[in-house]
Every structure is written in structure tokens, then in C-alpha cells.
Amino acid sequence: MKFGLLVNEGPFTHQASDSAYQFAKAAIEKGHQVPRVFFYFDGVNNANKLSEPQSDDRNLVKLWGELATAHGIDLVVCVAAALRRGIKDEILAEGFRISGLGQLVELGMAMDRTLTFGD
Amino acid sequence: MSDVQTDFDIAGVKKRFAFINRKAPYGSIYALEILEMVLISAAFEQHAVIAFIDDGVFQIKKGQNAKVLGMKNFAPTYRIIEDEKEDADEDDDIDMEWRIVVEEESMTARGLTADDFIVGVEVLPSAELTDLLDQQDVVLSA
């Protein structure tokens, strides 16, 4: 099955991004596909490469990038939501790209299931 | 390493989307940004249920004044949703059905009636709204 994910919260303050990441990982391990993850609201902060958690904690920004590179996941950050929050190409972490909200509607149209991870 | 696919074949795809607005218009950005989501979806000519539940019913309440908060009053933008809906209803060439729905229990619990809203709405009891959402393909909420 093809799953499309929507992540509505940033890393750390809420568990939403962790849950989405764990879901994506588990789904892929079970043989499903996660072709695209869309980051909206504070979720755009998941793409900030300046994020630097303490060394004994998970680094979600990096984890998303690694998962995307390994499994060909399209990590899309909403441009309007990103600009408001200062997420620009200069600080965009590896594996992410900035694009429009239309990519979320496209995700909903193209995937078998769309899952929202939010507060 | 796998190649990333950034284009999906959506030609001829027609799905039923639901946008569930659950939060008050101010106090957090959810209402404003989900509204942007709804507006973009119109360009894809998909069916949509735009539902207001819990404090989300305040998003379309008449007489909002965001000036005292130093914020932009985006309530008038909901009329664009109503316009899109009416255009789709009237134009046979547009294959798009939009419904603007308010959950009855949320509305009455907050002392509101259907006359308090800046757009025309269908008021549905929770059980009916549940059935309606069950029929949708893509449910997005905030």
C-alpha cells in the first residue's frame, strides 16, 4: 500500500513527528511504500538543519533525511508555512525540498491512504 | 539509496476530501493555515467537506475583530470558500461538490445558531457528521 503522511508539528515539542517517522519506518519494513511526507504548520521545523539536539537524544531532522535517502521518500516542506517560520533553502536539511501546498493535495489524490500526524 | 519520485500521476483522479477545522480562529495558527489548504484544493477540483467542530465553529462566527490582537482578520476569506462552492454548484462543467458543515453539538454548546455564521452552512448532528466523514477518502484536520 502507498501511504502519504502529513506532519503538522515540529520536532521535540510534540511527539507527532516522532510518531510519523516511526510509522513510516514500520510501514516500509512491512513492505509498504511511503512515497511522500508533507510538512505543514510547525511541521516545517523538521527541515531545519540548524537543529542540534543533545548528543544522547534522537535527531529527528537527520533521521528523516536518512530514511528519505534510503527509501526514496519525497520530503516536502510547504513554502508559505516555511517562509513564515524562517525555513529557507539556506537552512534546509538534506532530503527535504520546499514546494507548494498543492503537493499535499496531490499526495491525497495519489496515495492509497493519507495519515495526519498532529497535536 | 533510492530515487525520489516527485511527480505522481493524478490525471483523472477524483477523491473526496474532508477538512476538519477544530480550533478557535485565534490563539493558534491552525485555523488560518488549514484555510489555505482548503483554498489550494479548489484548484484540483476535488470534492470536499469543510467541517467545523469544537472551537472550530468560532472560525466562521460573524463580527470578528482581530485588530485588537494586532492580527489579520482572515474571516472574510471563508466567503471565498462559499463562492467556490456556489460556483461549483451552479456550473455544470465543474465536477466538484463542496459542503460546508457545522457540527450541531459544538454549535449549541457554544450558544450559537446557524444565523451567527458569515457563510451558509449545513448543521449536522455528530452522528450524521461521523457517517459523512466515513465516506471521505482523505481526511485532513487541525
pLDDT tens for each residue of chain A, 119 residues long: 999 999 999 999 999 999 999 999 999 999 999 999 999 999 999 999 999 999 999 999 999 999 999 999 999 999 999 999 999 999 999 999 999 999 999 999 999 999 999 98
- Cβ distance B33 to A106 less than 8 Å, yes or no, reads no
Largest Cα separation within chain A, whole Å, is 39
How many domains does chain B divide into? 1
SS3 B138: strand
- Give the separation between CA A67 and CA A105, rounded to whole angstroms: 23
Q: What is the mean pLDDT of residues B115-142?
A: 97
Check pLDDT > 90 for residue B3: no
- Give the separation between CA B46 and CA B14, rounded to whole angstroms: 6
For chain B, the residue count is: 142
Bridge partners, A39 (sequence order): A7, A77
- Active centre residues of A (catalytic): 78
- Cβ distance B36 to A97 less than 8 Å, yes or no, reads no
Q: Is B121 among the domain residues?
A: yes
- DSSP assignment string, B7-73: ----TT---EEEEEE-S-SSSSSHHHHHHHHHHHHHTTT-EEEEEE-GGGGGGGBSS---GGGTS--
Q: Is B1 among the domain residues?
A: no
Q: Is B6 among the domain residues?
A: no
Q: What percent of chain B has pLDDT over 70?
A: 99
Q: Is the dihedral of CA B80, B85, B91, B96 positive or negative?
A: positive
ipTM of the prediction: 0.94
Q: Is B103 among the domain residues?
A: yes
Burial of B16 (C-beta count, 10 Å sphere; 0-12/13-18/19+): middle
pTM of this prediction exceeds 0.80: yes
How many domains does chain A divide into? 1
Tell me how close the Cα of B92 comes to any Cα of chain A, in angstroms.
22
Domain that holds residue B55: 16-141
Q: Is the dihedral of CA B103, B129, A36, B10 positive or negative?
A: negative
Neighbours of A94 (CB within 10 A): 14
Nearest residue of A to residue B45, measured between CA atoms = A105
Residue A66 maps to which CATH number? 3.40.1260.10
Question: Over the stretch A79-109, which tens digit does the pLDDT of each residue have?
Answer: 999 999 999 999 999 999 999 999 999 999 9
Residue B23 maps to which CATH number? 3.40.1260.10
Tell me how close the Cα of A68 comes to any Cα of chain B, in angstroms.
8
C-alpha distances (whole Å) from A52 to each of A63, A68, B112 are: 12, 19, 47
Q: Which residues, other chains included, contact B89 with Cβ-Cβ below 8 Å and sequence gap of 6+?
A: B97, B98
Question: Over the stretch B60-108, which tens digit does the pLDDT of each residue have?
Answer: 999 999 999 999 999 999 999 999 999 999 999 999 999 999 999 999 9
- B142 contacts B53 by C-beta, under 8 angstroms: no
Check pLDDT > 70 for residue B1: no
Asked if the C-beta of A88 comes within 8 angstroms of chain B's C-beta atoms, the answer is no
Residue type, B104: E
Tell me how close the Cα of B115 comes to any Cα of chain A, in angstroms.
31
- Give the separation between CA A92 and CA B95, rounded to whole angstroms: 38
User: Which residues of B lie inside 8 Å of A (Cβ-Cβ)?
Assistant: 1-6, 8-10, 13, 15, 17, 29-30, 33, 36-37, 40-41, 43-44, 46, 137-142
- B60 contacts B90 by C-beta, under 8 angstroms: no
Q: Is B36 among the domain residues?
A: yes
